[in-house]
Chain A
């Protein structure tokens, strides 16, 4: 039972354009969502998060949108840069829960 799903295993975007990574979840108890970025041979690093009381959170080039009714979130990267090439994981948690549930990841490649 995959509670957090990233249906696109890979995404290729031209440098300077917008990258949009998507994530769906099934558990309505989830109320805190995070995006992690992972380079090869390194551990995942935190990128940006959003609480269910918001529908948007921005941090520089990165914006996360949350659509609670659709149980969907997305990460927008504008403009995309070559250093953004990595695997991106979506994660979700319920308030007070210890567990963080991750999606399968999307490999983003930024082409020059």
Chain B
């Protein structure tokens, strides 16, 4: 039972490079999320998708774009990476709206030099 799968697990980028973090869930969940975790800041929401075909900004969307490719997949793109985007990125999914538990992937460690 894979749950939420993220790739890549580790990545080093140079400033200005672009890359896409991939996420897929096999739980038939409607909602998907991208969070970043930084020391002392907790988990901050970057973007989310309430359902296939919709995306919305979270707390810290600047510098990122997302695509809800289908119900299973939700990708996060950094168009021009900056050192401030060095972080651990977590994809998550949730069956529906409030009252349901959110399930996380194992994380993607991104370093921008």
Contact A98 B106, CB 8 Å, known A43-B90, A104-B42: no
Q: Using a CB-CB cutoff of 8 Å, which residues 64-80 of chain B contact chain A?
A: none
Which has the most chain B C-beta neighbours within 10 Å: A42, A43, A103? A43
> Judging by beta carbons under 8 Å apart, are B98 and A102 in contact?
no
Q: Taking the complex as formed, is B2 at the interface, i.e. its CB lies under 8 A from any CB of chain A?
A: no
Choice from B41, B42, B48, B104 contacting A99 with Cβ under 8 Å: B48
Q: Taking the complex as formed, is A25 at the interface, i.e. its CB lies under 8 A from any CB of chain B?
A: no
Choice from A9, A31, A100, A102 contacting B40 with Cβ under 8 Å: A9
Q: Using CB atoms, name the residue of chain A closest to B3.
A: A43
> Judging by beta carbons under 8 Å apart, are A94 and B98 in contact?
yes
For the complex formed, measure the closest distance between the CB of B25 and the CB atoms of chain A, giving whole angstroms.
12
Q: Using a CB-CB cutoff of 8 Å, which residues 30-56 of chain B contact chain A?
A: 31, 33, 35, 40-45, 48, 50, 56
Q: Taking the complex as formed, is B82 at the interface, i.e. its CB lies under 8 A from any CB of chain A?
A: no
* Range, interface on chain A: 20 to 34
Q: Taking the complex as formed, is A73 at the interface, i.e. its CB lies under 8 A from any CB of chain B?
A: no
Contact A102 B44, CB 8 Å, known A34-B101, A46-B101, A96-B98: yes
The interface residues of chain A lying within 8 Å CB-to-CB of B35 are 102
The interface residues of chain A lying within 8 Å CB-to-CB of B58 are 99
Chain B contact residues, CB within 8 Å of chain A? 4, 31, 33, 35, 40-45, 48, 50, 56, 58, 90, 92, 94, 97-99, 101-107
